[in-house]
Amino acid sequence: MRTLSRWLSRFSYNHPNLRVEGLIRYIIAGNLLVFMLDLFTHGASTYWLYFVPSLIFRGQVWRLITFIFVPMSFSPLNFVLSTAFFYFMGTRLEAAWGAARFTVYYGLGVILNIVVGLLLALINPAYRAFVTADMQYLHLSLFFAYATLYPDLQVLALFFIPIRIKWLALLDAALFAYEILVYLSYGQFAMALLPIISIFNYLIFFWDDLMDYLNRGRARVQHQRSSQTINFKKAQRELQQRRGYLHKCSVCGVTDRDNPDMEFRYCSKCNGYYCYCANHINNHTHVQ
């Protein structure tokens, strides 16, 4: 997985011309057009756009592309909210990654959906008359990507509840797991591939980031449990209990007991171990 992830990163970097600037705008424009056509034709036009293998095999090959522009919801409120958030998320990802990497991520997700959608029809002919590919899971995987890059960003759930994006990503992960378990519980093992490939698409782009995060977490736990850290914290507690404070400013004498919210620093330019409060760390005479 790591090898594939790094190869895709190099591929995106080495092929900057393989990009669609503002790709997310074209996707949303297509969604809006299909949404309007669906309203005026009462769903008749949308019927010609879905990814239906039996119709594709009969020559309606445009469905291999048009399914990309079919909205996830035709409810006006849901469409507006999801489209606005998708636009905001997509533009931020493209700005962070660059147009080439974002295009490769989205393009690979589309290709995987097409491959699995056709594969389902070949594995089980009963699926040929049904929609076997859409953009729902790919867009949800984009949310994973966004939450990985901006985990502490706050959004307003239900328009008034502030919540960090990483907690919504965990909810998104639970939704993926639920969908997979539902398919498996009904014996639809092939259909379970649809959410799985979107997770796979996310993993091959973020494998190094996830492994680095796990390694940092493991190293942090090992550091906190090491005898050196435990002994240091014990010595700090004993010192604070004995003196009544841990830090004391060498200029004004304020301690962390006097002002628990005050920040204290030790000056590297002073000849010795001298502590200063935030007001005097940059405003004192260095001890030589």
Question: What is the band of 33 on the pLDDT scale with cuts at 50, 70, 90?
Answer: very high
- With tokens 């009969």, the residue in question is 58
> What pLDDT digit, counting tens, does each position of 263-281 carry?
888 888 888 788 898 888 8
Each domain of the chain, given as residue ranges in start order, spans 2-211, 240-288
> What pLDDT digit, counting tens, does each position of 213-243 carry?
667 666 666 666 777 766 666 766 666 666 6
pTM above 0.85, yes or no: no
Task: Show Cβ contacts of residue 83 under 8 Å, excluding neighbours closer than 6 positions.
Answer: 28, 31, 32, 71
User: What pLDDT was estimated at residue 242?
Assistant: 60
Please tell me the number of Cα atoms within 13 Å of 2 on its side-chain side: 5
Hey, what are 24's tokens?
A: 């997310």
**What is the CATH code of the structural domain delimited by 2-211?**
1.20.1540
Give the mean pLDDT of 163-178.
Answer: 84
